[in-house]
Structure 1
C-alpha cells in the first residue's frame, strides 16, 4: 500500500453540513465527503483490493467507491484532515492480517477437573431420584 499515491487518488467534495448552526451553517459548506475508487486504484495490489472490498463492503457502494464523510467541526480544513485520517486508519485496519490460531490441547489438570465436576453433577442428580423405585 503506497500511502502517498493513495492520498493523490482521493476525491473530496464539500457540502453543507446538517443540523443547527445559524447563519454560518446556512452559507458555508463545511461537511467534507471523501470518495476513493478501490477497483481502479494504482496504489493497491489486487490482493489488497480484494481484501478491502471484502472487509469494508458496508462502506463501498455499487460503483466500487469507498465513501466517508465528516462534519464534526465548523472548519472545512479540519473536517478534511479528520476524514483523511479516518480513511487511512480504516484502510490499514482492513489490510491487517489476522494472527493464525494456534491449536492447543487441554492440560491434564483441566481434564481431571472437568471429569470431577461431571462426576459431582451426576451424583447430585442421582440423589434426586426416589430410592424405592
Structure 2
C-alpha cells in the first residue's frame, strides 16, 4: 500500500485493491534472460474512480496533459529499468507516488503585472530604429 507523504496536509493512502499490476517481457538488451522472464511492470491506477484521492487532487491530476493518463482517467506506468521484477515493481510505485505528489500542490496564482514606463519607451525606441533602418533601404534595379 503506497502512502504519499504529507506536504502541508495529510498523507494519502492508496489501497492495494486500487492498483493493478501486470508483468510483461521487457524490451531492449538483456540476452537470453529478457526473452524468457517477465520482469517489466505495467502499473494501472484509476484516477477518476479512486475513492482515496481528495477531489481537488483528482481534478488536478486529470487536467494534466500527460500521455500516461488515458481518456478514461487511468494512469498507466511502464517500468522496465531494472533486471528484477521486484525492483521494477518498486520503481513503478515510486513513480505513482511522485505523480500523485505533483497533483497535491496547487498551482500558484499568477499576479498580473504591467510593463514599466522605461521598458515601454525602450520598446518604442527600438521599433523606431528598426523602422528607420528599413525605410533607408533602396531597391536596386540591375536590369
For normalisation by structure 2, the TM-score amounts to: 0.72
Deviations 1:28-56 (A, max 9, x none): 22111111121221211233222222215
Greater fraction helix:
1
Deviations 1:9-30 (A, max 9, x none): 3222222222343332233221
Q: 1:121 aligns with which of 130, 137, 141?
A: 130
How much has 1:65 moved relative to structure 2? Answer: 2.3
Distance in 1 of aligned mates of 2:122 and 2:65: 44
Q: Is the 8 A contact 2:48 2:72 kept in 1?
A: no
Segments ≥4 residues shifted beyond 4 Å: 125-129
Give 2:28's aligned residue. Answer: 19
Give 2:53's aligned residue. Answer: 44
Output the aligned Cα RMSD. 2.6
Distance in 2 of aligned mates of 1:87 and 1:103: 34
How much has 1:123 moved relative to structure 2? Answer: 3.6
Distance in 2 of aligned mates of 1:128 and 1:22: 67
Distance in 2 of aligned mates of 1:18 and 1:112: 59
For normalisation by structure 1, the TM-score amounts to: 0.76
1:5-84 to 2 correspondences below 5 Å: 5-6=13-14, 8=16, 9-55=18-64, 58-84=67-93
Deviations 1:59-106 (A, max 9, x none): 233554211111111111111111111121122223432221111122
Distance in 2 of aligned mates of 1:66 and 1:87: 9
Larger Rg: 1
Unaligned runs of 5+ in 1: none
